[in-house]
Amino acid sequence: MAGYAYQVDAERALLRTSYISSFSPIPALNRTDADVVMYFLLNEASYLGPVFDPWFEATIPVPFNDTYLITDGGASNGFTYSPNKNASVMACTQQTQYCNHDSSRCSALTGVCPEGQPSPTKAMLKEQLQLNKKQEAIFSRLWLAAWQSDMYQAAGLPVGTDLLASSAAPGLTPALPDNQWILEMQHNFILGLISMQMQVMQYATGPPDTNDFQYLTRPNANESWMCNNQVVQNTGYTSFSELGLVLVFVIGGCIILVNQLISAIFGTKIGPLPKNEWDRFYNLSLVLHEQDPAPTSDSNSSVQQVAKLDEKVPPLRRATN
C-alpha cells in the first residue's frame, strides 16, 4: 500500500477451534495449551543505520548521495540500509485464564475459547470457577470483551499505523533498537487492554456513534442490572466528600455565631489591637524599664508604684471596629 513503509497482516490458529481459525499450524508451531498468532511484516523502509532486530533486520548498504544528511551525520559513510527480507514473519502464543476472587479458583491457562468453544459453557463456569448467577453474567461480558481484544484483533488496525516504528516512516528513518520486536508486541498487548476496557464500558454507555444503536441487542432481565452498576473514572467530573463539606459549613458557622454572641454580650469585638494601642504598650514598657522599681514584699507599696506609672501612659482601649 502506497504511503506506508510497513504493512502488517495477522493470522491466528485458535486452540481446538479450527473452524474459525485462519490457518492450521504445522507441528513445529502447534500448541495444545495456547492460541498461535502469526504476524507478517512487509518492510519497505530505508534506515540511516543498520538494524539488527530480527523482525526488522536491515543490514544491506545502499549508496546514498544526499550531501546534507551525510555531513549531518545521518547516513554513515554515504549509505542507507535496506531490509534483508521484504517480508518477515513472527509467531506468538497467547494464553487466557479466568479467576473467581471469591472462591480463589481459576481456570487453566489455555486459549481464549474455554473448552474449545466459541462461548463459555455452563459446566466450565459452575464446576471450575463456582460462579453465582450475577458472576456468570459478568463473566460472559468479560469473556466477549477479551475475545474481541486479543493479540489478533489488536493487530487489525489500519495498515501501517499500529507499529511504533511507523512514527518515523515513510522515508529515511533512524536505526531501530535490537529489541524493537519486543516493544511492538508490548504495544500490541496494551492496545488489546485498551480495547477490552472500552468494550466493557460501552456495554453500559453504548457505542460512541449513535447510529450504531439500531444494531444493539438489549440485555435481558438477568443482565440489565449491570448497566446501572457500571462505575467508570471520568476526568470531566471531580469527586468530593459531602460529609467534609457539611463539617466545614457547620463548624465555620458555629465559630461565626460564637463571635457575634460574645460581641453582643460584652459590647466589644475580639480582634487585633490597632497600631496606636500597640504603641501605648511599647511606651509603658519603656517607662517600666526607666523606673525599674526595686522588688518589695509590701503589697501597698507595689500598688502605689504601678499607679504612678499608669498616670504617665494614657489608658488602653479595645478596638471597637
Query: What are the per-10-residue average pLDDT scores of the chain (321 residues)?
Result: 74 83 89 90 90 95 66 60 92 88 83 66 72 83 82 62 70 87 91 86 80 79 78 67 85 86 64 63 67 49 51 50 46
Tell me, what's the pLDDT at 52? Answer: 96
Counted domains in the chain: 2
Tell me, what's the pLDDT at 177? Answer: 94
User: Is residue 58 situated within a structural domain?
Assistant: yes
Tell me, what's the pLDDT at 147? Answer: 81
Do 36 and 165 fall within a single domain? yes
Tell me, what's the pLDDT at 236? Answer: 63
Which strands form 46-47's sheet, in the order they lie side by side?
60-63, 79-82, 46-47, 172-173
User: Is residue 142 situated within a structural domain?
Assistant: no
User: Is residue 110 situated within a structural domain?
Assistant: no
User: Is residue 254 situated within a structural domain?
Assistant: yes
User: Is residue 232 situated within a structural domain?
Assistant: no
Do 278 and 180 fall within a single domain? no
For residues 296, 299, 303, 304, the Cα torsion angle rounded to the nearest 10 degrees is -70
Tell me, what's the pLDDT at 203? Answer: 81
Domain extent, residue 177, equals: 6-95+149-219
User: Is residue 1 situated within a structural domain?
Assistant: no
Domain-terminating residue out of 204, 219, 234? 219
Do 13 and 64 fall within a single domain? yes
Do 173 and 269 fall within a single domain? no
